[in-house]
């Protein structure tokens, strides 16, 4: 293996040597191990070269050792999955899902409704025909999300639908969906995706959301839309900030923090979905240790924000190695990723590890169970087992239905709905129970005493609450 970073090289050799050595030589942890302990997902794309079996062997070895969430660079987009009308090609997506299963990696699906990379037949046959386009989009979402039901944890349901104007609004030109259907294509896409896989997380994903929440900005426009979607029971659960930035964009981590906080008020997760931090292309070959340290510092700030904000769940970098990156190919930027062209980790890798280690698992909240917890834990020693009821918070945000829950011993009782899906997580967001409550109660008998987070979902309403099992 050429120029492998000592840490990664060591971890890989250990992995290759087999388990008997690992207990003797406690290896340096990988990113994915630290992420998992924290109930979070950190990952990178699988580049198109991986799908085409045209990539160095180091790529996959590092990818599966270091990361626990994956997304396809191009292979789940409309033109890849439905190249001809109602003829679907899932071969490459299936290849990724198999790889992810074999390596216990979470899968993001990217992207269902996007103005770019739409198969040519859509506009040649149906441009401007609203009913036809709605039927095409519905069929596409039903077939693709249906095919991957239970296997793709989260979808970018709508991608890049906001324009690049100073006063943000919907992207109204060069979008076959918007031009033919209007803004209702977005709402419909979420509803169809939810119907096809009610358990999938559903995201709105866009770029330039890291530019801050000033009036008229893309980020504040998206927050307003999320508010409207939640009020109207449109089943959005997450926003993705792509975050393709440059080394000079020093304020972006704090802008992402502000966006996370604004979305947390709405009970919505923020994921970093396509991070890269590029240098201007002209600087290639002249970059100094200080430049790489600066890049590392920015990566680290994003990781700090990610671990500190309770409603951030996934941190995805748009590429693994500078040898394969859209920055050089299409952007006039360079060297924006964690590994250099020889697969050697850069200071950015070390900075991410430092951030992870400085945020102990016990302090990191996972959004997969804990998004709306705001009240302090009851420490008065009363008999009440309900601590931190978030019903009012959810109601104010228009999120809660009229149902409620309480716990007595190991039994969870619900009121106000006939049936609900119930997920129980430990405080790091690791799932410890998943089931259905059909007749007003569900037994949590296998769960040991302690504090947990329960998420109940019934229709489009959800309630998240911290409970104590005594
Ligand atoms: O990395 C992708 C590149 O290979 C494609 O040519 C390009 C075509 O649009 O899309 C790139 O990925 C984009 C992603 O799907 C959406 N956000 C911006 C990404 C970088 O362009």
d(CA 402, CA 391): 9
Closest Cα to atom 14 of ligand 1: 73
Q: Which of 44, 156, 330 to mutate to test the pocket of ligand 1 (most atoms within 8 A of CB)?
A: 330
As a three-state string, the secondary structure of the chain is CCCCCHHHHHHHHHHHHCHHHHCCCCCCCCHHHHHHHCCCEEEEEECHHHHCCCCCHHHHHHHHHHCCEEEECCCCCHHHHCCECCECCCHHHHHHHHHHHHCCCEEEEEEEEECCCCCHHHHHHHCCCHHHHHHHHHHHHHHHHHHCCCCCCEEEEEECCECCCCCCCECCCCCHHHHHHCCHHHHHHHHHHHHHCCCCEEEEEECCHHHCCCCCCHHHHHHHHHHHHHHCCCCCCEEEECCEEECCCCCHHHHHHHHHHHHHCCCCEEEEEEEEEEEEHHHCCCCCHHHHHHHHHHHHHHHHHHHHCCCEEEEEECCCECCCCHHHHHHCEECCCCECCCCCECHHHHHHHHHHHHCCHHHCCCHHHHCCCCCCCCCCCCCCCECCCCHHHHHHCCCCCCCEEEEECCEEEEECCCCEEEEEECCCCCEEEEEEECCCEEECCCCCCEEEEEEEEECCEEEEEEEEEC
The closest residue, in CA terms, to atom 2 on ligand 1 is 73
Lowest mean pLDDT among 61-75, 308-322, 361-375, 442-456: 361-375
Give the mutation target among 326, 328, 331, 333 for probing the ligand 1 site: most ligand atoms within 8 A of CB.
326
How far does residue 46's CA lie from ligand 1's centre (Å)?
A: 12
Q: Probe ligand 1: pick from 71, 72, 74, max atoms within 8 Å of CB?
A: 74
pLDDT band at 10 (very low <50, low <70, confident <90, very high): very low
Q: For residue 318, how far is its CA from the centre of ligand 1 (angstroms)?
A: 9
Mention every residue, 6+ apart, whose C-beta is less than 8 A from residue 103: 64
pLDDT of residue 377: 26
Q: Are 44 and 316 in contact (CB under 8 A)?
A: yes
pLDDT value, residue 428: 62
d(CA 450, ligand 1 centre) in Å: 45
Q: How far is the CA of 314 from the centre of ligand 1 (A)?
A: 19
Ligand 1: distance of its center to the CA of 172 in Å? Answer: 20
Average pLDDT over residues 292-312: 97
Can you tell me the mean pLDDT for 261-266? 96
CA of 73 to the centre of ligand 1 (A): 7
In which order are the strands placed within the sheet that holds 461-469? 431-437, 420-425, 450-458, 461-469
Question: Residues 6 or more apart from 23 whose CB is under 8 A from it?
Answer: none
Confidence label for 136 from pLDDT (cuts 50, 70 and 90): very high
Q: Reply yes or no on whether the pLDDT at 38 is more than 70.
A: yes
98 is catalytic: no
Mean pLDDT of 265-284: 95
Domain(s) labelled CATH 2.60.40.3080 in the chain stretch across: 404-469
Contact yes or no for 464/454 (Cβ under 8 A): yes
Torsion of the alpha carbons at 379, 384, 388 and 389, rounded to the nearest 10: -160
Please tell me the least confidently modeled range out of 67-71, 239-243, 430-434: 430-434
CATH architecture group of domain 9-363: Alpha-Beta Barrel (3.20)
As assigned by CATH, the class of the 404-469 domain is mainly beta
Nearest CA to ligand 1 atom 3: 326
Q: What band does 6 get if pLDDT is binned at 50, 70 and 90?
A: very low
**What's the CA-to-centroid distance between 276 and ligand 1, angstroms?**
12
Confidence check: pLDDT of 45 > 60: yes
- Ligand 1 atom 21, closest CA: 326
pLDDT recorded at residue 399: 39
Q: How far is the CA of 430 from the centre of ligand 1 (A)?
A: 32
Measured CA distances, 226 to 164, 184, 214, 263, 339 (Å): 18, 14, 16, 8, 35
**Tokens of residue 459, six digits:** 């229709």
With 0-12 / 13-18 / 19 or more C-beta atoms within 10 angstroms meaning exposed / middle / buried, residue 362 is: exposed
Atom 13, ligand 1: residue with shortest CA distance: 73
Q: In which band, very low, low, confident or very high, does the pLDDT at 258 lie, cut at 50, 70 and 90? A: very high
pLDDT at 353: 98
Question: Who wins on pLDDT, 428 or 336?
Answer: 336
Tokens of residue 418, six digits:
């006939």
Q: Half-sphere exposure of 64 toward its Cβ, with a 13 Å CA cutoff?
A: 17
Residue 298 has pLDDT above 50, yes or no: yes
Read off the pLDDT of residues 414-464 as tens digits, 9 standing for 90 and up.
Answer: 877 778 888 888 766 677 888 888 888 889 988 988 777 787 777 666 677
Which of 61, 75, 160, 179 is labelled catalytic? Answer: 160
**Ligand 1 pocket: which of 318, 319, 325, 336 to mutate (most atoms within 8 A of CB):** 318
- The answer to whether the beta carbons of residues 325 and 319 sit under 8 Å apart is yes
Q: Which structure tokens are listed for 37?
A: 């302990």
Residues linked to residue 72 through DSSP beta bridges, in sequence order: 46
pLDDT digits (tens, 9 = 90+) for 341-397: 999 999 999 999 999 999 999 899 888 653 332 222 222 222 233 333 434 333 433
Question: Ligand 1: which residues within 6 Å by Cβ?
Answer: 73-74, 116-117, 242, 274, 326
What is the pLDDT at residue 25? 52
What is the predicted pLDDT for the residue at 392?
39
**CATH code 3.20.20.80 region(s) in the chain:** 9-363
Cα separation, 65 vs 422, in Å, equals 32
Q: Among residues 58, 73, 274, 335, which one is catalytic? A: 274
Give yes or no: 372 in active site: no
* Average pLDDT value for the chain: 86
Q: Is the dihedral of CA 247, 321, 330, 280 positive or negative?
A: positive
Nearest CA among 82, 142, 71 for reference residue 117 = 82
How far, in Å, is the centroid of ligand 1 from the Cα of 445?
47
Ligand 1 atom closest to 207 (CA)? 17
Per-residue model confidence (pLDDT) at position 460: 61
pLDDT in tens, 190-222: 999 999 999 999 999 999 999 999 999 999 999
Whether 139 shows a pLDDT value over 60: the answer reads yes
Check pLDDT > 70 for residue 121. yes
Residues belonging to the chain? 470
């Amino acid at each position: 293996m050429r120029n492998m970073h000592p840490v990664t090289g060591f971890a890989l050799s250990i992995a290759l040597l087999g388990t008997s050595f690992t207990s003797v030589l406690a290896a340096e942890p990988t990113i994915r191990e630290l992420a998992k302990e924290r109930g979070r997902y950190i990952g990178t794309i699988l580049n198109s070269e991986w799908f085409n079996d045209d990539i160095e062997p180091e790529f996959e070895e590092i990818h599966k050792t270091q990361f626990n969430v994956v997304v396809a660079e191009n292979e789940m987009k409309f033109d890849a999955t439905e190249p001809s009308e109602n003829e679907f090609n899932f071969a490459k997506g299936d290849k990724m899902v198999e790889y992810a299963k074999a390596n216990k990696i979470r899968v993001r699906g990217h992207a269902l409704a996007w103005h770019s990379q739409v198969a040519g037949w859509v506009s040649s046959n149906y441009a401007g025909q609203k009913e036809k386009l709605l039927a095409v989009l519905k069929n596409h979402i039903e077939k693709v999300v249906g095919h991957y039901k239970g296997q793709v944890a989260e979808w970018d349901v709508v991608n890049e639908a906001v324009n690049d104007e100073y006063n943000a609004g919907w992207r109204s030109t060069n979008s076959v969906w918007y031009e033919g259907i209007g803004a209702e294509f977005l709402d419909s896409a979420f509803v169809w995706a939810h119907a096809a896989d009610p358990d999938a997380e559903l995201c709105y994903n866009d770029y330039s959301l890291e530019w801050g929440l000033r009036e008229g900005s893309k980020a504040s426009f998206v927050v307003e839309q999320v508010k409207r979607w939640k009020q109207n029971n449109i089943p959005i659960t997450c926003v993705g900030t792509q975050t393709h930035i440059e080394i000079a964009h020093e304020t972006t981590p704090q802008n992402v923090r502000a966006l996370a906080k604004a979305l947390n008020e709405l009970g919505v997760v923020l994921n970093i979905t396509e991070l890269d931090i590029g240098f201007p292309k002209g600087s290639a070959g002249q970059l100094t240790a200080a430049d790489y340290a600066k890049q590392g510092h920015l990566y680290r700030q994003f990781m700090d924000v990610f671990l500190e904000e309770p409603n951030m769940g996934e941190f995805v970098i748009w590429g693994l190695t500078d040898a394969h990156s859209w920055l050089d190919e299409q952007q006039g930027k360079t060297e924006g990723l964690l590994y250099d062209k020889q697969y050697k980790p850069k200071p950015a890798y070390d900075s991410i590890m430092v951030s992870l280690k400085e945020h102990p698992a016990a302090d990191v909240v996972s959004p997969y169970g804990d998004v709306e917890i705001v009240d302090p834990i009851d420490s008065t020693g009363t008999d009440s087992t309900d601590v931190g009821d978030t019903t009012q918070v959810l109601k104010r945000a228009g999120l809660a239905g009229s149902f409620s829950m309480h716990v007595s011993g190991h039994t969870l009782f619900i009121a106000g709905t006939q049936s609900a899906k119930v997920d129980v997580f430990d405080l790091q967001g690791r799932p410890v129970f998943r089931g259905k409550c059909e007749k007003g109660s569900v037994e949590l008998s296998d769960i040991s005493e302690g504090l947990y987070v329960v998420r109940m979902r019934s229709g489009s309403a959800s309630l998240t609450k911290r409970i104590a099992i005594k």
